[in-house]
Amino acid sequence: MLPVGVVGASGYSGIELVRLLLAHPHAQLMVATSQANVGRKLSDLYPQFLDSGVELVQTDIDQLTNKCQLVFLCLPHSQSAELAAALYRNGVGVIDLSADFRLDTPEPYLTYYDWQHPCPELLGQAVYGLPELHRAAIAETRLLANPGCYATGALLGLIPLFKANLKLRDIIVDSKSGVSGAGRKPELAFSVVEATESVRAYKVASHRHQPEILSQLQGIADHELRFSFTPHLMPMKRGILSTIYVQLAEDELGRDFKAIYRDFYLDEPFVRVLDEGQLPQTRSVCGTNNCHLSVVVDKAAQRLIIITALDNLLKGASGQAVQNFNLMQGFPEKMGLTSLPPLF
Amino acid sequence: MLPVGVVGASGYSGIELVRLLLAHPHAQLMVATSQANVGRKLSDLYPQFLDSGVELVQTDIDQLTNKCQLVFLCLPHSQSAELAAALYRNGVGVIDLSADFRLDTPEPYLTYYDWQHPCPELLGQAVYGLPELHRAAIAETRLLANPGCYATGALLGLIPLFKANLKLRDIIVDSKSGVSGAGRKPELAFSVVEATESVRAYKVASHRHQPEILSQLQGIADHELRFSFTPHLMPMKRGILSTIYVQLAEDELGRDFKAIYRDFYLDEPFVRVLDEGQLPQTRSVCGTNNCHLSVVVDKAAQRLIIITALDNLLKGASGQAVQNFNLMQGFPEKMGLTSLPPLF
Amino acid sequence: MLPVGVVGASGYSGIELVRLLLAHPHAQLMVATSQANVGRKLSDLYPQFLDSGVELVQTDIDQLTNKCQLVFLCLPHSQSAELAAALYRNGVGVIDLSADFRLDTPEPYLTYYDWQHPCPELLGQAVYGLPELHRAAIAETRLLANPGCYATGALLGLIPLFKANLKLRDIIVDSKSGVSGAGRKPELAFSVVEATESVRAYKVASHRHQPEILSQLQGIADHELRFSFTPHLMPMKRGILSTIYVQLAEDELGRDFKAIYRDFYLDEPFVRVLDEGQLPQTRSVCGTNNCHLSVVVDKAAQRLIIITALDNLLKGASGQAVQNFNLMQGFPEKMGLTSLPPLF
Amino acid sequence: MLPVGVVGASGYSGIELVRLLLAHPHAQLMVATSQANVGRKLSDLYPQFLDSGVELVQTDIDQLTNKCQLVFLCLPHSQSAELAAALYRNGVGVIDLSADFRLDTPEPYLTYYDWQHPCPELLGQAVYGLPELHRAAIAETRLLANPGCYATGALLGLIPLFKANLKLRDIIVDSKSGVSGAGRKPELAFSVVEATESVRAYKVASHRHQPEILSQLQGIADHELRFSFTPHLMPMKRGILSTIYVQLAEDELGRDFKAIYRDFYLDEPFVRVLDEGQLPQTRSVCGTNNCHLSVVVDKAAQRLIIITALDNLLKGASGQAVQNFNLMQGFPEKMGLTSLPPLF
């Protein structure tokens, strides 16, 4: 059993991570921290854990170092970096679910996060934890940047095309997310009264996952891109559907795009290209680490429309973190991630 | 008081129309038909009408002709055309909420609706009832084709650009709709169990509102277009949000697009261009005949992102039908359409 | 036009009141206050009011006194009393939507609200604004205590029995409310993530509407009562369904209870006893000032089961306030309360 | 591995049962039938099962007898009895999730179900599968009647009192259920448009679980009871909250009711009496086989208010069926029922 810790265990991704780790055959949860709930039983916040005995404690670097071989950080961006650096230097493995190590260089942190990165020297060492793109590097790292939820849905829809050396100059990602993506915080905008029976876009052309997606895509094929990303808030708890529009050159319209996707994802444990006639829906992947994907060729418009669906808190956060944990520790990749949730 | 009838009064657009007409100062509802509910009181289906005394009757052309000066048809597509033709020939005004007279030529009905239009000679006489585009012609017609809900949201977002003579070669409309858009029919796919907590696309690159939108756009400026339309089903009752992506030529990036929209909609009673910093949400327009609209310039991607929100059953159906009714009869355009609904 | 003011205009009952008053033929909204939003346009908070021009200002007793003949107070309990007293003494009519004048004596305010009432001398002068019980007194008062939402649903279900001189020793009210009843405040417990897909009871046997209901019932017939009230939180925005269980003496089982209810509510403009076979649902009354009611005799258990449905923000708050306003001013009772909302 | 079958695998309880059995360490799913979907892959209906390979077949008694040692029947009432009888006579174990064997005598089937029971001789042999009440008998039977969802919630709230020999003459059960309780069928009444944002009661004083509950209670203590049961439909997918009102004799008011409940459920694996200050909510038990319970003494009204929460499809159906399966086979009672679902 590998001793692990979760920092920020009371938030939505933190608590899902605790749930997965408690059921993981090779992980032992030694420490679960929550600054706002020090001394409380986890079951006071989530009665589902009545039998677990987990108690929330203060975040303490020494305790984490002494008790854990690997620590998951589920903190808001900019609150993770220094703690991650300290643990990493103490020899503890780190899986950071925040954005703090997802970008290669410190500059975009200034632009998009209005934040001076405190340990830019580590940016080059952190591995971006999208197994479908960086599996080998993930297995070798001790500092992992877990991808953003939107970024995961966008990248899984796009990397097969980039890897196939198609020239893709124009890409639009239109994403629809449940409100848990905003994190666990009391806000009128997310209340039943104000957020159900309504749909809206937000941070149009300015969301922080945009440079994250672009940075990964240009790591594969560095041609110039026109890229737009629009996130939308849906009246539901969890799930992200991304509708991706890719302009094709006329001479590439005849390629067998479904074969490209099927081949690319053939051996992937969590990505499924749906059969002809089926389209992804978030309900079918929520509660799992799966991503469902369809490709439609819109011939008249010379365009590819790719749709991906995933659970923002699992494949988009805590499930992917456990998948990365398995890869880093040499466990089977699906370990602890196979149980099917209630079907609706 | 103008005597009117509603055919198909028990469906979602039919019942909203009945509600609006009962409150309209110059309309008198003489006949409300529903083949499945002949002889029942409307209040048996919708207890909100306990005090109205409306009874549902069979659809009878003679009765409609004798009692009504104008008839609203709220029937599924292909079930409207012959009834509309008969009433029209009898001298009765017709506002058809189905798709049967929205296209200019019979061919696309074969392609998209798998249906041989029974009275193609009327297609040229029907006026497409988008007041923001065809106000003058609407005032002159006796046969009005009320626009589709998705088409209304897309066109209101695009016509100011087309009217401004911008060359727009690449357009994507990504629409998110509540389930009432599917009509009032018992289907598992729309049940609380199967449709809440989920989002999905449907009829990708093949929806019937696609030729409707294109036909109107090319009526304004007949250049070639790459056009894609993707409808999505949201876990909510009503409302459509359309996110519209328009590729710009580089030399047009500098134009003041907000001014183009503000100027175009300056005197429109129901379309509002939101202030900088605000974005439309369906909750703010549902229950009204309004369309809220924002324009964002995505400079890096040389793209315009236009977002429109409307109520699919009002500005997207019955509210717009009443607006057209007002124009056809010479009543003030907002008559019967000004009451504010509950705020959430 | 009667000049009126709304204090606390940005909350849920405040904003619904503003909406009703703006459409009221004889009211003119002179002042709308909101301490947290001084200087903002109402449309910044609720874009539905883009055309209204209402601006939110500070609460100022002099301004309210000078500009208004009647002021509606939509404040949390204990924040209303002193302002109400001041306005009342200045000769301004007051309709208070808080609990501050609903009880006859100051003692229960200590017990249930942990609050020393600052102007107990006014408790005897305030009239409890349930028109179905106190219509005549309402017409004569200048200080009106608008009933609580739960209390309205419970009392409308019970007063016909009390007025019929039935001895009712055992009463249970089991109420189910939408979350808007909790007011407009950011709380995790009311977020989409935590409050949808869940039902729970709260304040079991200790809710503050319990003494309010009891006080009114014992004003009609002062026999001893075993009375329980249990509020429940539903995953929806608005609406209250109250299921009321009344134990009957065996010799009263044969009475025609439906006739008792029908007769009592025969001339009431807003209470409807449903036909045999129909049962109330909140959807049919939300957005209106109506209360729907059914009576079922459970013979085997010697019990009456009465079910009432109303909109907590209208008949349970702002709609009833306007109804009381009409009575106080001698306007027709339904004025400004007849428009039918969207049907779903 | 014990070979099992599921008849009616495509409905809501059927599919949840399939999910649980596929993950059960000692069960092997040999046959899954669905008359409406013969020949289809289960994943066509529920894409969650893309990797399972389960195919739906016709219901065939010989095949079920040859391939299975135990068969779960997930059919509507009255469609189960004859199939159950045939399998039982063939030596196959039967767990029937319908109502067909829940009552001891055929008469109430005529009264409440309008149905002549075809094999009344088996009613005495079937064991009512509420482990908290009949654990020993369950372990010995081959014909098990799995309790109704409402009945489970009501009985778990009441049996500790009955077992404690309290005289309880007056009981009211007010239950609130998600719409999945109505089964998987296309009906307007359960659509997003008509069932969200609304609450209503149904089958007041006439629901079929009423005789089921009474029959079990009177099996414990046969005194006369005034008993009322009112089911309500909530705008959510799953979960039942039951609020139970029990009138106490004055001399029993002083007893320690919490101790009665704690003691009774001390060793139960799935029923948890919550700590003082906590109240059950359906969200905390949905996706699990747990029942959460609170007891509140309403002293003023001499009443006990007991609240239970469970998942209608798990502890109220398929989870309890697996629990019974474990007991019948001598497996540990919690086997296959311990995984925690997503937390919201």
Q: Please check whether residue C164 is in contact with residue C195, taking contact to mean a CB–CB distance below 8 angstroms.
A: no
pLDDT above 80 (res A335)? yes
Residue A278's pLDDT band, with cuts at 50, 70 and 90, is: very high
Give the number of other Cβ atoms within 10 Å of residue C28's Cβ: 14
Examine the pLDDT at D178 and tell me if it is beyond 90. Answer: yes
* pLDDT (mean) for C239-264: 94
Count the neighbouring beta carbons within 10 Å of the beta carbon of residue A55.
Answer: 16
Q: Which of residues 100-159 of A touch B (CB under 8 A)?
A: none
Mean of pLDDT values over B145-149: 98
A197 close to B (CB below 8 A): yes
Q: Are C23 and C339 in contact (CB under 8 A)?
A: yes
What is the pLDDT confidence band of residue C7, given thresholds at 50, 70 and 90?
very high
Distance from CA of C185 to the nearest CA of D (A): 20
Q: Give the pLDDT confidence score for residue C315 in this predicted structure.
A: 98
Query: Which residues in chain A are closer than 8 Å to B192, comparing Cβ atoms?
Result: none
Query: Among all residues of chain B, which has the CA nearest to that of C197?
Result: B197
* pLDDT on residue B169: 84
Instruction: Please indicate whether, in this complex, the C-beta atoms of D239 and C344 are within 8 angstroms of each other.
Output: no
Domain D150-310 annotated CATH 3.20.10.10: no
Give the pLDDT mean for B81-92.
Answer: 98
What one-letter code names the amino acid at D253?
A: L
Residue B222, pLDDT > 80, answer: no
Contact A46 D238 (CB under 8 A): no
Please list the residues that pair with C127 across neighbouring strands: C144
Q: Is the pLDDT of residue D145 over 90?
A: yes
Residue B170 pLDDT class (50, 70, 90 cuts): very high
What's the pLDDT band for A42 if we cut at 50, 70, 90? very high
Tell me the average pLDDT of chain B: 96
- Which chain B residues touch A199 with a CB distance below 8 Å? 176, 234, 236, 239, 241, 281-282, 309
The H or E element that residue C161 is part of is helix C149-163
Contacts of A286 in chain B (CB under 8 A): 197-198
Question: Which chain B residue lies closest to A193 (C-alpha atoms)?
Answer: B344
> What is the pLDDT, as a whole number, of residue D8?
98
Using pLDDT thresholds of 50, 70 and 90, give the confidence band for residue D224.
Answer: confident
Q: What pLDDT is stored for residue C51 in this prediction?
A: 86
Task: Categorize the per-residue pLDDT at B253 as very low, low, confident or very high, splitting at 50, 70 and 90.
Answer: confident
Is C185 at the interface with chain A, CB within 8 A? yes
Residue B311: predicted pLDDT: 98
C199–chain D nearest CA distance, Å: 6
Query: Which residue in chain A has the smallest CA separation from D21?
Result: A340
**Averaged pLDDT for residues A138-164:** 97
Are D289 and D321 in contact by the 8 Å Cβ rule? The answer is no
- At residue B224, does pLDDT exceed 90? no
Beta carbons within 8 Å of A21's beta carbon, 6+ residues apart: A4, A6, A27, A29, A72, A322, A336
pLDDT above 70 as % of chain C:
100
Instruction: Search chain A and give the residue with CA nearest D341.
Output: A341
Distance CA A294, CA B97 (A): 33
A252 pLDDT higher than 90: no
C-alpha distances in angstroms, D323 versus C64, D85, D97, D295? 66, 22, 13, 25
| Contact of B167 with B249, CB cutoff 8 Å | yes
When computed from its CA atoms, the radius of gyration of chain B, rounded to whole angstroms, is 20
Q: Which residues, 6 or more positions from C199, have their beta carbon under 8 angstroms from its beta carbon?
A: C176, C232, C233, C234, C235, D176, D234, D236, D239, D241, D281, D282, D309
Query: CA angle, corner C106, sides to C105 and C111, nearest 5?
Result: 115
Question: Residue D176: closest CA among chain C residues belongs to which residue?
Answer: C199
Q: Is the pLDDT of residue A223 over 80?
A: no
Instruction: Give yes or no for A174 touching B (CB within 8 A).
Output: yes
Tell me which residue in C185, C186, C237 faces A192 most closely, judged by beta carbons: C237
CATH 3.30.360.10 domain locations along chain A: 150-310
Indicate which residues of A carry an active-site annotation. 149
Identify the pLDDT of residue C252: 87
Q: Which of B97-101, C114-118, C251-255, D137-141 has the lowest mean pLDDT?
A: C251-255
What Rg value do the Cα atoms of chain D yield, rounded?
Answer: 20
Mean of all residue pLDDT scores within chain D: 96
Question: In chain B, which residues have their Cβ closer than 8 Å to the Cβ of D192?
Answer: 178-179, 190-192, 195-196, 235-237
For position B51, what pLDDT does the model report? 86
Q: Is B21 on the interface with C (CB under 8 A)?
A: no
**Cβ <8 Å between A243 and B237:** no
Position B250 pLDDT exceeds 90 = no
Between CA D244 and CA D265 the distance in angstroms is 18
At residue B265, what is the residue type?
Y
Q: Which of C189, C179, C37 is nearest to A185 (CA)?
A: C189
As a whole number, the mean pLDDT across chain A is 96
- Is B24's pLDDT higher than 90? yes
User: Neighbours of C (≥3 Cβ pairs closer than 8 A)?
Assistant: A, B, D
pLDDT over threshold 80, residue A35: yes
Rounded to an integer, what distance in angstroms lies between the CA atom of residue A327 and that of residue A321? 10
Angle between helices A131-140 and A318-329 (to 10 degrees): 40
* pLDDT at res. D222: 77
pLDDT, position A249? 86
pLDDT of D23 reads: 97
pLDDT over threshold 80, residue B223: no
Mean local confidence (pLDDT), D235-257: 94
Q: So what's the pLDDT on residue A130?
A: 98
Say whether A191 and C190 touch across the interface (CB within 8 A). Answer: yes
pLDDT attached to residue C192 = 97
- Partner-chain contact A342 D341, CB within 8 Å: yes
Q: Are the beta carbons of B193 and D237 separated by less than 8 Å?
A: yes
Averaged over A65-71, what is the pLDDT?
98
pLDDT above 90: percentage of residues in chain A: 94
Q: For testing the chain B interface, which of D12, D190, D191, D312 should be mutated: the one with the most B CBs within 10 Å?
A: D191
At C41 the pLDDT is: 97
Any CB–CB contact under 8 A between A298 and chain B? yes
d(CA C198, CA C201): 11
For range B232-261, the mean pLDDT: 95
Cα B167 to Cα C27: distance, rounded to the nearest angstrom: 51
Across the beta sheet with C70-73, what order do the strands follow?
C27-33, C2-7, C70-73, C93-96, C143-145, C127-128
Shortest Cα distance, chain C CAs vs residue D168, angstroms: 13
CATH 3.40.50.720 in chain B is located at 2-146+317-329
For the domain D2-146+317-329, what is the CATH superfamily, name and number?
Answer: NAD(P)-binding Rossmann-like Domain (3.40.50.720)
Residue D224: C-alpha distances to residues A135, D156, D208, D217, D220 (Å) = 69, 20, 19, 10, 12
Annotated catalytic residue: which of B68, B74, B119, B149?
A: B149
What mean pLDDT is predicted for residues D51-64? Answer: 96
CA distance to partner chain A, nearest, from residue C48 (Å)? 13
How far does the CA of residue A178 sit from the closest CA of chain B (Å)? 8
